[in-house]
Structure 1
Amino acid sequence: MRRTLRQSGNAGERVSRAGTIRAAAALVTGALVLSLSACGGDDGSDSGKGAAGGAAKTATTVKLPKLDGTKLEVSAVWSGVEAANFKKVLTEFEKRTGAEVTYVPAQDPIINFLGSKIAGGSPPDVAMLPQVGAIKQAVEKKWAKPAGPEAVAQLKKNYSPGWQDIGKVDGKQYGVYFKAANKSLIWYNTKVFENAGAKEPKTWKELLTTAQTIYDSGVTPMSIGGADGWVLTDWFENIYLSQAGPEKYDQLAQRKIKWTDPSVKQALTTLAQLWGKQDYIAGGADGALQTEFPKSVTQTFTGGDQPKAGMVFEADFAGANVQEAKAKIGTDAKVFPFPTVGQQAPVVSGGDAAVVLKDSKAAQALLTFLASPDAATIWAQAGGFLSPDKNVDLAAYPNAEQRSMAKALVGAGDDFRYDMSDQAPQSFGGTPGKGEWKDLQDFLKNPKDVAGAQSKLEADAAKAYGG
């Protein structure tokens, strides 16, 4: 759903050394700088074409069975543009197999939605789960079925071991990470930066200086989609990973240290340096808490040279909302990597994994298809999408920014950290109005109460993890 690139806290995780994280961060930074300086007015209109204007490869690389007359249901929390683009993928599966696939929109948290469907005897055949913790819960509840040999073969062929591992529970493959995200980006309105004489910051201190420069020019510096708690967890995770380092990050993700740890205090105190300045946030804390993620992006790129805010933090998928605002990526809107807070810049990733709930030939065939570059290429051409599949032709991505982000994602290999809240039990890290989402919303409202925020986070984590 919602990620410095990170590794799962589940079985099979690896603790990356600081040097590899720096290398991954440098790769992202370099790719973005090159793309943004080179692309000019590339707004994504060359969909399906590579940098040289040629068509992306569309050859069939995976064999699928004939499934004439078979009906399948697939559920995900995607809506709007995301849902429309995913349906294009499902339509291609229908063409190749003869199956009939129905997309069933799910509510967040999807585990609760699936629970009601299963209780009613009508679960979807396949579900797209946006958290590592949700996959684990689905397995524990005996809802999820293991991936078949054909899907596993596609994963081994197309995915790095790290992306395979985060779809495993107790060493067995269940999830296929179809959609990935780079959640260490800040988008900015180029007119605002030009008018203010602001520069892209590389460090947290420089970000605060840039924010003040934009504020002095008459524009509110930052837009925050605080109504969606996951946005706030991403803020914390980027700061924590950069400041505390990857080993501490893993320890907090695995609950080997508590939320009352001094490293959490330090990260929240740093976060409060920005969140505590109400004039820096569009609408102040109250306004931010009533602003959902899509609006936090669009209001940054509408209103000419007097938008609601000059910058907005979030992942590559914010590009779809930038385009909704009729802004051209690369000219009206640009991005810079999340600034370095500690010794290294953060590089956080997340994604959505396909999991089979009703084991059948058709459901396993869809899982196999989603593990192939054929499926990922379709959405890549539509934009607003990154795939961890290393065999997706970069020419499939519609603009220079997305090609650079995809290259950095795949190029990082296994040197990443996965979204911490998405590794947690859903009751703590993935439920509106509860757990970490609610606690950080409360902290946004009162960023002076660091100790109180830590106490709430620890109490809710203990409850969710069972101690």
Structure 2
Amino acid sequence: MSWKLHHGAAIAAVALAMVAGCGVTAGAGSGSAGSDVSGRSLEVIGEWTGEEQANFQKVLNGFTARTHVKVTYTSGGNNVNILLNSRLTGGAPPDVALVPQPGVVAEYARKGMLVPLTGDAAAAVSTNYSDAWKQLGVVDGRLYGFFFKVANKSVVWYRTDDFRAAGARPPSTWDDFIDTSKTLADSGVTPIAVPAADGWPVTDWFENVYLRVAGSDKYAELAAHRLAWTDPTVVRALSVLGGYFGTPNMIEKGATQLTFTQAVADVFGERPKAAMLYEGDFVTGEIGKLGAARIGGDAKLFNFPSIDGSAPAVVSAGDEAVQFRDSPGARALMAYLASPEAARIWAQAGGFLSANSELDLSAYPDDSTRAMAQALVTSSVVQFDMSDQTPQSFGGQAGADEWRLLTDFVAHPGDPAGTAAALEAAATKDYGSRS
């Protein structure tokens, strides 16, 4: 991803023209001028709730203000794919959806459920996204989507008061991370909250450790199941994680019942129970909603630590905008979402990173967010969230096999080889059933 620090008046003018002009009038099947969308209505489905939903609504309001198209947002929460599958089965797809797994998007595309992007929407993606990000929206040679909201899922958040009281410093290596955690524990503070109840945060833990233990090539092979989950690199990564999770007094008790939202509150709320929380940039929105800690003051971050001398690396993720219904309004909305103007609205509200290379970093509200955005550029290795590339039954939805097995591993971390074997059995079943 190529972030540009400039964003002059000419670029803004082009983006506004795309949305307010050609992107608002579109001919059927092409995205060219010819059909007025004013007065029409659209539905968008996404996973966002709470603060994120409110901020995305601001983006949709910006589209409505320009086009007079009413947009209804429906949240599927953590079960967005279940909602989409139900709607598709019932013959009632939304106009547009934001899907958090490119593997799921590929399934939809290959089943003929998605509209390929053409015209103004495709042009906006070509203009505003790097080749690496554009390629993530391509299925079998055709562009079907783009990532509107992305995440840097390789940072650890911490309470500065707990670190100061314990005499702890932000670590840069895994060994230092263990030492810092022990220092916090010795001071009487639980080092870290691990929200295993939701499943996906534990897959993120594994992916960050695996990327640093095995490297980028094996990461990609494992994501595609060209490498078995019983490979020694997987067992090694699980051993690293298991050693940490299994150390007494290291993680907050009841991890398998702890949700992500509650974990944020347990670290940065009025009654903190732990000093650290691993997760992505989107934590900022939840911290802000609590109102008990200030980003950059009470709450700071450090990059996920290096393991065995691994180079700086980032696991990214995102919500891919795709089109299920072909209409001038849907094409106009896709072109708008691919513009820097749409990205800027949410960036200024906080809790957001964009893959849009034309978005000026100054749009982000604080140094922490700008640092996370910059890390996506400066890190030697950037990989997309592994579980989001897998079949839904393995890693793409609540209750998926990987989510379940890794949640169990948090509670019983003493058998990495056994967990690896169970993951391989599940992957063999789930990848084999993917069409």
* TM-score with structure 1 setting the length: 0.84
Letter in 2 for 1:313: Y
Q: What is the DSSP-based 3-state SS (H/G/I as helix, E as strand, rest coil) of the residue aligned with 1:347?
A: strand
Separation in 1, partners of 2:65, 2:289: 30
The equivalent of 2:407 in structure 1 is 441
The equivalent of 1:70 in structure 2 is 40
Do the aligned partners of residues 352 and 430 (structure 1) sit closer, same or farther apart at CA in structure 2, a change above 3 Å counting? same
The equivalent of 2:421 in structure 1 is 455
CA contact (8 A) 2:18 2:120 kept: no
The equivalent of 1:204 in structure 2 is 174
Choose the corresponding residue for 2:241, options 271, 274, 289. Answer: 271
Letter in 2 for 1:398: P
Bigger mean CA deviation after superposition, 341-350 or 198-207:
341-350
Deviation (angstroms), 1:119: 2.4
Matches within 5 A, 1:347-386: 347-386=314-353
The equivalent of 2:260 in structure 1 is 293
Separation in 1, partners of 2:103, 2:311: 27
The equivalent of 2:131 in structure 1 is 161
The equivalent of 1:11 in structure 2 is none
Deviation (angstroms), 1:278: 4.1
Matches within 5 A, 1:7-406: 60=16, 62-63=18-19, 64-65=23-24, 66-283=36-253, 287-303=254-270, 307-326=272-291, 327-342=293-308, 343-406=310-373
Deviation (angstroms), 1:142: 1.9
CA contact (8 A) 2:51 2:286 kept: no
CA contact (8 A) 2:156 2:302 kept: yes
Letter in 1 for 2:18: V
Bigger mean CA deviation after superposition, 257-266 or 445-454:
445-454
Choose the corresponding residue for 1:421, options 387, 396, 405. Answer: 387
Deviation (angstroms), 1:391: 0.7
Deviation (angstroms), 1:145: 1.1
Do the aligned partners of residues 241 and 414 (structure 1) sit closer, same or farther apart at CA in structure 2, a change above 3 Å counting? closer
Deviation (angstroms), 1:448: 0.3
Letter in 2 for 1:299: D
Do the aligned partners of residues 277 and 344 (structure 1) sit closer, same or farther apart at CA in structure 2, a change above 3 Å counting? same
Q: What is the DSSP-based 3-state SS (H/G/I as helix, E as strand, rest coil) of the residue aligned with 2:313?
A: coil
CA contact (8 A) 1:298 1:324 kept: no
The runs of 4+ residues in structure 1 deviating greater than 4 Å are: 412-415
Render the CA deviation track for 1:154-213: whole Å, top value 9, x for unaligned: 111111101001111011110111001000000000000000000111111110000000
CA contact (8 A) 1:176 1:367 kept: no
Separation in 1, partners of 2:150, 2:98: 12
Letter in 1 for 2:180: T
The answer to whether residue 393 in structure 2 is matched with residue 432 in structure 1 is no
Separation in 2, partners of 1:61, 1:188: 43
Do the aligned partners of residues 153 and 58 (structure 1) sit closer, same or farther apart at CA in structure 2, a change above 3 Å counting? closer
Deviation (angstroms), 1:251: 1.2
Q: What is the DSSP-based 3-state SS (H/G/I as helix, E as strand, rest coil) of the residue aligned with 1:108?
A: helix
Deviation (angstroms), 1:137: 1.5
Q: What is the DSSP-based 3-state SS (H/G/I as helix, E as strand, rest coil) of the residue aligned with 1:62?
A: helix
Separation in 2, partners of 1:420, 1:119: 27
Deviation (angstroms), 1:111: 2.6
Render the CA deviation track for 1:67-111: whole Å, top value 9, x for unaligned: 112110000011000001001111111111111110111143323
CA contact (8 A) 1:274 1:280 kept: yes
Deviation (angstroms), 1:289: 1.0
Q: What is the DSSP-based 3-state SS (H/G/I as helix, E as strand, rest coil) of the residue aligned with 2:393?
A: helix
Separation in 1, partners of 2:173, 2:381: 22
Letter in 1 for 2:330: A
Bigger mean CA deviation after superposition, 184-193 or 343-352:
343-352
Render the CA deviation track for 1:228-260: whole Å, top value 9, x for unaligned: 111000000000001111111111112111000
User: How many residue pairs are counted as aligned between the two chains?
Assistant: 409
Higher RCO (Cα < 8 Å, 6 or more apart):
1
Render the CA deviation track for 1:15-51: whole Å, top value 9, x for unaligned: xxxxxxxxx9xx9xxxxxxxxxxxxxxxxxxxxxx9x
Letter in 1 for 2:190: T
The equivalent of 2:28 in structure 1 is none
| Structure 1 unpaired stretches of 5+ | 6-23, 28-49, 51-56
| Structure 2 unpaired stretches of 5+ | 6-10, 25-35
Separation in 1, partners of 2:374, 2:216: 22
Deviation (angstroms), 1:434: 2.6
Bigger mean CA deviation after superposition, 294-303 or 352-361:
294-303
Percent identity of the aligned residues?
Answer: 45
Q: What is the DSSP-based 3-state SS (H/G/I as helix, E as strand, rest coil) of the residue aligned with 2:74?
A: strand
* TM-score with structure 2 setting the length: 0.90
- Alignment root-mean-square deviation, CA: 2.0
Deviation (angstroms), 1:273: 1.4
Separation in 1, partners of 2:124, 2:186: 53
Separation in 1, partners of 2:354, 2:397: 25
Letter in 2 for 1:309: A
Letter in 1 for 2:238: L
